[in-house]
């Protein structure tokens, strides 16, 4: 791990979590550079960013991406690369294929793929002795036919997907006609679990938990990504996370979608081996860096107020509140929450979100896809051999 003066490269600069991580690491005295494909990502506007480098899109130009990352590490004297988004898979592939001059704060591609795969993650959790929801791999229409009669009790989702995209929640059998699972594009059928959904963000080093934040997301952009985050505490969730990071000897960031059943049992639903919004509940740079980058004790969240991106709440939260006739609840949420982009002495990123949004919107318009799809189009990784 780098020393106090070591340069750290944070990738995925488009994401608010990359901005937050850069502020924490910079606040602890490290030099931080950022990199991503967009020309004007939000984190590049921060005072925490010593320099921003634009990279080729890893999904479409993997070799050029790996070459650019290696050249950047050598030119800037980078000791540690910390991914924040789905580029973690492309970086892990680059580290497997060559001898890189810096370290990657993530496991090897085999373990990353295992936990990202919605079927193999459940099998891994099962092997570690955890209770799991019944989950069936669908590789063909015959596999689909075998569960069709129970579709109203199941959730169907692609093995490789994000933002709850393409999820079919307890569909009627006729809705399954649109699904064509195959070995190249498998799906899972998972038992629908009643209860309270909880998200977990964790950082671990060699299987030891170094940071953990648990939260709920009552407002979302569509069906998937949260835009409003409330902290929770749950000992059963903590035990589950500890067992997974210990059982995999995990080093890096990792996140989980979980469900607490009415009887108190916690079940894992899926895993994302990257940063998520629970990171915003940490605001002490010295303690966070000591735990995550050094040998310090585990750091606990030090933020209690709900966190949100107000621009996203106006775009997604307000229409949802109007449809649900829950405008009073929306107003109360806006009054009682903090803007997660705010940081003392670093106001530029709040303004920069408009130019960053415009760049993503331009991509969405050109490709005729949603804003969410455009936000990850160039970094998505959909399994071995995907393009």
Average pLDDT per block of 10 residues along the chain, 387 residues long: 69 96 97 96 96 96 96 96 97 92 96 97 97 97 94 94 80 91 94 96 97 94 83 96 98 97 95 96 97 94 94 89 92 94 95 91 91 88 76
HSE of 212, CA atoms in CB hemisphere, 13 A: 24
Burial 321-333 (b: 16+ CB within 10 A, else e): beeeeeeeebeeb
Residue 2 is predicted with a pLDDT of 41
Beta bridge partners of 104: 81
d(CA 215, CA 210): 17
Q: Which two tokens stand for residue 83?
A: 């991914």
Q: 326 and 332 in contact (C-beta within 8 Å)?
A: no
3-state helix, strand, coil in the chain (%, to 5): 40, 25, 35
Distance (Å, rounded) from C-alpha 63 to C-alpha 170? Answer: 41
Could you tell me which residues come within 8 angstroms of residue 335 by beta carbon, excluding any fewer than 6 positions away? none
Position 235 scores a pLDDT of: 95
- Residue 286: per-residue pLDDT: 96
**Distance separating alpha carbons of residues 295 and 248, to the nearest angstrom:** 20
Q: What is the pLDDT of residue 6?
A: 79
CA-CA distances (angstroms) from residue 105 to 93, 108, 273, 333? 13, 10, 11, 35
Q: Tell me which residue has tokens 């959909």.
A: 382
**CB atoms near residue 63 (< 10 Å):** 11
| Residue 267 · residue 133 · CB < 8 Å | yes
What are the helix (H) ranges across the chain?
Answer: 16-27, 62-76, 87-97, 109-116, 118-127, 141-147, 235-248, 285-292, 310-312, 318-323, 327-336, 348-367, 371-376
pTM of the model: 0.93
Q: State the helix-helix crossing angle for 87-97 and 62-76, rounded to 10 degrees.
A: 80
pLDDT recorded at residue 86? 95
Structure tokens at 64: 């050029």
| Alpha carbon distance 135, 122 (integer Å) | 7
Strands 7-11 and 31-36: parallel
Among the listed residues 241, 223, 248, the one whose alpha carbon sits nearest the alpha carbon of residue 157: 223
d(CA 189, CA 364): 30
Nearest 5 degrees, angle CA 102-CA 99-CA 384? Answer: 100
**Can you give the pLDDT at residue 294?**
87
DSSP state of 280: G
Q: What is the CA radius of gyration of the chain?
A: 20
Environment class of 123 (CB within 10 Å of its CB; exposed 0-12, middle 13-18, buried 19+): middle
Q: Work out the number of other CB atoms within 10 angstroms of the CB of residue 233.
A: 9
Give the pLDDT of residue 4. Answer: 43
**Count of CB atoms situated within 10 Å of the CB of 269:** 21
- Rounded to whole angstroms, the Cα distance separating 243 from 256 reads 13
CA distance 241 to 268: 9
């Amino acid at each position: 791990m780098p020393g106090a003066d070591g340069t750290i490269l944070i990738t995925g600069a488009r994401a608010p979590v990359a901005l937050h991580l850069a502020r924490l690491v910079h606040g602890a005295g490290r030099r931080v550079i950022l990199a991503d494909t967009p020309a004007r990502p939000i984190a590049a506007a921060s005072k925490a960013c010593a320099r921003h480098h634009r990279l080729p899109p890893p999904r479409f130009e993997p070799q050029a991406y790996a070459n650019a990352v290696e050249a950047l590490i050598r030119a800037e004297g980078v000791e540690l690369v910390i991914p924040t988004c789905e580029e973690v898979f492309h970086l892990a592939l680059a580290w497997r294929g060559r001898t890189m001059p810096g370290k990657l704060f993530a496991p090897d591609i085999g373990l990353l793929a295992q936990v990202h795969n919605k079927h193999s993650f459940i099998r891994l959790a099962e092997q570690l002795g955890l209770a799991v929801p019944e989950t069936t791999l669908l590789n063909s229409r015959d596999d689909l036919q075998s569960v069709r009669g129970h579709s109203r009790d199941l959730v169907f989702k692609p093995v490789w997907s994000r933002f709850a995209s393409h999820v079919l929640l307890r569909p009627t059998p006729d809705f399954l006609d649109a699904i064509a699972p195959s070995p190249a594009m498998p799906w899972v059928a998972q038992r629908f679990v009643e209860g309270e959904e909880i998200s977990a963000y964790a950082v671990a080093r060699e299987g030891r938990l170094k940071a953990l934040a648990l939260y709920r997301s009552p407002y979302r952009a569509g069906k998937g990504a949260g835009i409003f985050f409330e902290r929770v505490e749950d000992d059963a969730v903590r035990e589950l996370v500890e067992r997974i990071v210990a059982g995999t000897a995990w080093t890096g960031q990792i996140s989980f979608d979980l469900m607490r059943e009415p009887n108190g049992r916690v079940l894992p639903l899926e895993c994302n081996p990257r940063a998520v919004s629970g990171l915003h509940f940490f605001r002490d740079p010295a303690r966070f860096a000591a735990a995550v980058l050094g040998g310090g004790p585990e750091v606990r969240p030090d933020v209690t107020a709900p966190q949100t991106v107000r621009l996203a709440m106006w775009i997604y939260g307000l229409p949802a509140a109007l449809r649900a006739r829950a405008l009073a609840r929306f107003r109360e949420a806006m009054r009682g929450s903090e803007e997660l982009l705010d940081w003392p002495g670093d106001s530029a990123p709040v303004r920069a979100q408009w130019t960053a949004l415009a760049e993503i919107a331009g991509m969405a318009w050109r490709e005729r896809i949603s804003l969410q799809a455009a936000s990850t189009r160039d970094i998505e990784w959909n399994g071995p051999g995907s393009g």
